[in-house]
Structure 1
Amino acid sequence: MRNVRVFDGVSGQAQDGMDVLVEGSHIVGVSSSPVAGSDGAFEVDGQGRFLMPGLSDAHVHLMGNANSMVEFLQGPTGALYGNTIAEAKRMLLRGFTTVRDMGGDTAPVKSLIDRGVFEGPRIFPSQAMISQTSGHADFAFVYDTPEEFGGKPSRTEDIHFTRVADGVPRVLAAVREQLRQGASQIKLTLGGGAASMYDPLNTLQYTPDEIKAAVQAASDYGTYVATHVYTPAGIARAIDAGVASIEHGHLADEETVKRIADAGVWLSMQPFAEADHHYPDPVRAAKNTEICEGTNQVYEWARKYAVKTAWGTDLLLEPQSAPRQSEMAARLGEFYSNAEALKMLTSGNAALFELAGERNTYRGGKLGVIAEGGWADMILVDGDPLQDISLIGDPDTNFKMIIKGGAVVKNDL
């Protein structure tokens, strides 16, 4: 690609008049001087446009994004996966070339995408969200008998969206089950949430011994545990048990955010606004409001204490809201400078993904950067997101070319 303004994902600024050479699936050269490709190479004149790494999302639910609760509970299983594959392509066409899936049976979808059978982003699957009975990922009906007392798994467990496990032995088995199924990292739910029916936000879920067991089982496989949790008490318990990533954290106080920084733990936040999710009952709607009201303050403290912060969306069970992913990426500019936001959306998230160690199947290249040896995942933008980050909120109009692994998946030039 010739004559582009390159934002490399790391430096925080862009360089004009650059050439980028791609061979196969990787970037092999980035230069201010003309680079020579092989005979017959496909050449693109960027005409001075902005070239950036592909976007990433550290907290998606591909299956949850693509299907409603009714579809989860009553729809044919094949349709659930069909909808997931379709959403994966739409997500790629929004410019998201890598995502970390935080709950859902996406390892088979990842395999199909990686083999080139379908189009979609690179996926770091967590497989089923692991929850205690009555916890955030317990989607059984209130009248269902828990498995511990001889009941059957819920529908969401049957389709590997969730796994309910109580006590150290079952937690160990649940973690190992997800690793067997292809999880890159483990997702544990340690507190209440807006989408769940039985748990107020202030609940503490899983005992310290249960959490430590999950961390040990993940560590034995060279990977880590990420935890859904909002409150100071829940975050403290997670840090004490050795988790590597706090998912959400919107109700944290300043002391807790400082502790996250001091412990070197990641904070995987989402810039939630109330309109991102819709709940039919007043209890869950009130929980959603409380979570959203904490967003601004926690971001402020995270910047103050230089917390390792990742960005994600956590859109769930409302397929019509899936395109908000782009809007939420642009919204990150309300809390960070445009350069800081773009770095988080590219190389920043990638640093979190790399905690998966050898469970990361994309170790053959660097993610989130435009640099020699990086995966050739790139977006050619009409306009400069460093000056106007709202451009990434409208990928249909402003993303003129999207490349993943050296293959052009969109070309509007």
Structure 2
Amino acid sequence: MTGIEETRRLLFRNVRIFDGISDHLSNGDVLIEGNRITAVSENPIGEAPGQQTVEINGDGRVLMPGMSDVHVHLVGNANTFVDLLGESESLLAANTLAEAGRMLLRGFTSVRDMAGDTAGLKKAIDRGSFPGPRIYPCQAAISQTAGHGDFGFVYDTPSALGGNQSRAEDIGFMRVADGPERMLAAVREQLKKGASQIKIMVGGGAASMYDPLYTLQFTPEELRAGVRAAEDYGTYVATHVYTDAGIRRAVEAGVKSIEHGHLASEETVAMLAERDVWLSMQPFAEADHHYPDPDRADKNRQICNGTDQVYGWAKAHGVKVAFGTDLLLEPQAAPLQSTMVTRLADFYTNIEALKMVTSGNAELLHMAGERDPYRHAKLGVIAEGAWADVLLVDGDPTADLSVLGDPAKNLVAIVKDGRVFKNAL
């Protein structure tokens, strides 16, 4: 059975529990009432006379917290570059809602959206109008002129020089802002529109047309202005950046989460641990993205070639590492999200990987403080009082992480916010 099923009391019996924190599975029952987990017990949980209870007998299957992906682009992942340039915003939103539902059925019950107008979609999902994960919006990512988020054409006059803003800005995907004053306005604009945290582009990227990877983007003064505006709202800044120089400039400005970092040196990776800064990495493979021109294809190759060593250094130095996917502009590639989870086994033990995609990522999500829309309970754990986001797995991901690579087959029950969105038993 698939679809949306509501119940007041949901009881998982006879399950092996990975709680998101422990190194071993435990046996027992898990009770969900409303949208919270209310009991986790080694002993059978009894009936509640007068209350409707739906029981799911796990028959020894593994029950784990819903997964999270802390670097998604719901709008960008659900639409092509041509869609973003030429289609109506209503179609872009419809494609995005459809992909949000598919993402939930892959077992991702929470996501941090890192560029795109998703605050309204978040409200619709939270109200129960559509299936989808919990969304932590950044709203538009902020870029300098000729930076990673400048989607204007080379012959367009920059908006800072009196030109019109690009289509990417019109649809709330990017915001180009030069100078500290415009940076302040851009950050405040995203907070006004519902951003949980702020995304700023601090270096070059593969998808962008004008900026080599080595470029430093935004001056220290501009970055500090953005960080200050975010902190005044009780939240933090995450930055797109790959290189040593860019990472160090971002950290010195007060940024709390480095997105990517694939070209960092070991010294810089160690600095992240010393400064208590998150590394939001993606286990990229070169074939994950396709670029029609040799320049962007080469940038993508350089980024992917740095993946293995940066993961190794991050683990060796005890850096707080989060999992994300950063799939973009190729909707047919969206199912790679599940495959990328399984790649974590190349760098971490299965238990370490599972902790990362559950309680570890949740720690980063909750760093939004008062801007955290789901701060009233814990995410990423199976514990009394936590949000009722759980997955029943046919197979043991603590022994074989690859079972998460086929969610249609192996995720036999998916519950988010206490609602059953899939029950194949």
Q: For this structure pair, what is the TM-score category when the shorter chain's length is used for normalisation?
A: over 0.9
- Map of 1:366 onto structure 2: 378
AA matched with 1:27: I
Is 1:287 aligned with 2:303?
no
Partner Cα distance (1:37, 1:52) in 2: 23
Residue 363 of structure 1: how far off its partner (Å): 1.5
Map of 1:313 onto structure 2: 325
Unaligned runs of 5+ in 1: none
- Provide the rounded CA distance (Å) in 1 between the counterparts of 2:383 and 2:258: 29
User: Is the CA contact 1:57–1:312 (under 8 Å) kept in the aligned structure 2?
Assistant: yes
What is the rounded CA distance, in whole Å, between the counterparts of 2:103 and 2:357 in structure 1?
A: 14
Give the one of 73, 83, 86 matched to 2:85: 73
One-letter amino acid matched to 1:303 = K
Question: Is residue 394 of structure 1 aligned with residue 382 of structure 2?
Answer: no
Aligned counterparts of 1:405 and 1:37: Cα–Cα separation in 2? 21
> Which of the numbers 27, 34, 40 marks the counterpart of 1:30?
40
- Alpha-carbon distance in structure 2 between the residues aligned to 1:363 and 1:208: 31
- C-alpha separation between the residues in 2 aligned to 1:282 and 1:223? 39
Residue ranges of structure 2 left out of the alignment (5+ in a row): 1-11
Q: Secondary structure at the match of 1:22?
A: strand
Q: Which amino acid aligns with 1:66?
A: A
Partner of 2:17: 6
- Runs of 4+ more than 4 Å apart: none
Amino acid at match of 2:22: S
1:1-400 mapped onto 2 (5 Å cutoff): 1-16=12-27, 18-38=28-48, 39-400=51-412
Tell me, what secondary structure is at the counterpart of 1:116?
Answer: coil
Q: Distance in 2 between matches of 1:221 and 1:309?
A: 25
Aligned residue-pair number: 412
Q: In 1, distance between residues paired with 2:40 and 2:245?
A: 47
Tell me how far apart the structure 1 counterparts of residues 154 and 89 of structure 2 sit (CA, whole Å). 23
1:53-83 Cα deviation digits (max 9, x unpaired): 0010010000000000000001111100000
Q: Percent same amino acid among aligned pairs?
A: 65
CA deviations over 1:308-332 (Å, ceiling 9, x no partner): 0000000000000001000001111
Give the secondary structure class of the aligned counterpart of 1:2: strand
Q: Which moved more, 1:59-68 or 1:359-368?
A: 359-368
Deviations 1:250-284 (A, max 9, x none): 00000000001100000000000001100000000
On the 8 A contact 1:21/1:37 being kept in 2, the answer is no
Aligned residue type for 2:17: V
Alpha-carbon offset, residue 299 of structure 1: 0.2
2:57 partner SS: coil
Q: Given the two structures, how large is their TM-score scaled by the length of structure 1? A: 0.99
Amino acid of the structure 2 residue aligned with 1:405: D
CA offset digits 1:10-36 (Å, max 9, x no partner): 1122112x1001100000000001112
Normalising by structure 2, report the TM-score. Answer: 0.96
Letter in 2 for 1:116: G
**What amino acid maps onto 2:393 in structure 1?**
V
